Structure 1
């Protein structure tokens, strides 16, 4: 049958701090996976603490791809992620392994799952530079307000500090007269893969508590020192990478715009808001099997639920399920 000719693709998504990393390693061991990072920030070398990048020890021997592939001044894009992921999925499948995307960058992951087309809209470099200048003079919030007026859906999805993507959304509207959100909504949403999409969710307050605990841990691990080192190497605050959560706020503290306490509070608030936007993005995606992991202490029960979903989806591929005999 036609469906069976499509390569299998396992995907685990969810908001930041929900517990994707630990779950993904256990699933990868069971189903013979290689993991493709679906996080737009973990591609950058030297940005480890603020991105909650998985360590070699945590990988536990599972191959991981698209981590530490660029320097922080590289303008990584969704189109590049899509192209690289497509090649990796083919390579991993050809090796008899199961490709497994794990992450929280919604547009990146959805673009791979459904083969989005990105090549039709051109560029207007003058317009782009005008928008960056506008943000410099009036602030990121003012530029974000311009996006709200022409494309409220994209404005809801994008953080004001994500200048590159805010400018790109404005540029798409400027060039086509059509909002980026409408163009994304019109994508065919037909997957080139035999997909198993699993989403992790949990009680909102518990998630927010976990986010705050994670940020406290990042600070304890040396987030301020990590950002200082990046700045000392000459990576400018305006870079896309340095606008990421955990970096922009600490840069502002180091430059004297905020006290340490204010920067930490801002980081916690912005990360909570980011998690909310992640969930709203994932909620509009189809085909996701949601698993509530609020009872995070009961890891084995949550794992069994997800194992059952994957085994059910890929049942005809017995090599993936035979490894779990218990």
Structure 2
């Protein structure tokens, strides 16, 4: 019997972790819980890289959780994710299966592995009004006065920075007493991809997603009534394509700035994973280029 409650598969964008997780889930006859902060939103398919076809392995549908559970335009947060994760985790475990957590959102993954103590922070209208016209550079300094800025996605946009300040101010006034969820014993597998190969795959994938209709996808979400500001909040593809559709960027500016932003995002992911290791999460790194059968064999050896 495995000493682990969970298998976690993580890695930077374009490392092939989802495909590997699905093949492993097929082999172990289990289910996958997504660890991606944007795949929770419906209609945001191409830009978030849901790749739902990966969840069909040898003609069999792999059950997945925490994908397409909220409407585009919502502001899903880590507190909600932690609760939704544990609901899915408990259900899979009760079915006698070893759950697989798969994704690249390091903060979400670490929050459940290490049992972060979190609180559902309400909206602070007075604070939001106070910082409404504050430039992003100034908001970044304000946020840095509360905590070290490990998670740079907090300052991707002014809206995100204000929300991060709102959370920190609430935590300052309402100290947390105890963790709601315990840490989990997880075998953590990192899919390691060579930096140059990762850059090549990111560039190829960006072109493919644009060819697949990513711009039309963003326009359709805007047509449903989701505001440009709410889409920009999600960052990366939704930020830059929205700016293009709002005629604030040319197509070439959108393409080149987005490509750079995704490369920077992948670099930040790796920085986060290294930080996780320093904070006590042991990650077993597997080469992305290993055949899937060999990756599965390595996982089975580690489970024993």
TM range (shorter): 0.7 to 0.9
Q: Does 1:54 align with 2:48?
A: no
Q: Does 1:22 align with 2:16?
A: no
Structure 1 residue 24, shift from structure 2 partner: 0.8
Structure 1 residue 202, shift from structure 2 partner: 1.8
Q: Does 1:312 align with 2:302?
A: yes
Distance 1:143 1:311 in 2: 48
8 A contact 2:232–2:240 mirrored in 1: no
Change (3 A) 1:121 1:14: same
8 A contact 2:232–2:242 mirrored in 1: no
Structure 1 residue 151, shift from structure 2 partner: 3.4
**Structure 2 alignment gaps of length 5 or more:** none
Q: Does 1:293 align with 2:283?
A: no
**Partner deviation per Cα, 1:263-317 (whole Å, 9 max, x = no partner):** 01111111111111111111111333332425x2x424xx52453244433x3xx
**What RMSD over aligned residues (CA atoms) do the two structures have, in Å?**
2.9
Distance 1:121 1:44 in 2: 20
Question: What corresponds to 1:90 in structure 2?
Answer: 90
Question: What corresponds to 1:143 in structure 2?
Answer: 139
- 5 Å matches for 1:104-253? 104-119=104-119, 124-131=124-131, 133-134=132-133, 138=135, 140-148=136-144, 150-154=146-150, 157-158=152-153, 160-175=155-170, 192-239=183-230, 243-253=234-244
Distance 2:68 2:232 in 1: 13
Q: Say which SS state the counterpart of residue 149 (structure 2) adopts.
A: helix
Structure 1 residue 55, shift from structure 2 partner: 1.9
Residue from 271, 275, 290 that aligns with 1:280: 271
Structure 1 residue 165, shift from structure 2 partner: 4.2
TM-score between both structures, scaled by the size of structure 2:
0.86
Structure 1 residue 207, shift from structure 2 partner: 1.0
Provide the aligned length of Structure 1 versus Structure 2.
295
Distance 2:155 2:254 in 1: 16
TM-score between both structures, scaled by the size of structure 1:
0.80
Distance 1:260 1:77 in 2: 31
Q: Say which SS state the counterpart of residue 283 (structure 1) adopts.
A: helix
**Partner deviation per Cα, 1:176-231 (whole Å, 9 max, x = no partner):** 569xxxx99xx98x954331111112221221111111111100101111111111
8 A contact 2:22–2:54 mirrored in 1: no
Distance 1:279 1:31 in 2: 28
Distance 1:233 1:120 in 2: 28
8 A contact 1:162–1:240 mirrored in 2: no
**Structure 1 alignment gaps of length 5 or more:** 316-326
**Partner deviation per Cα, 1:113-139 (whole Å, 9 max, x = no partner):** 1211112877633113433x235xx3x
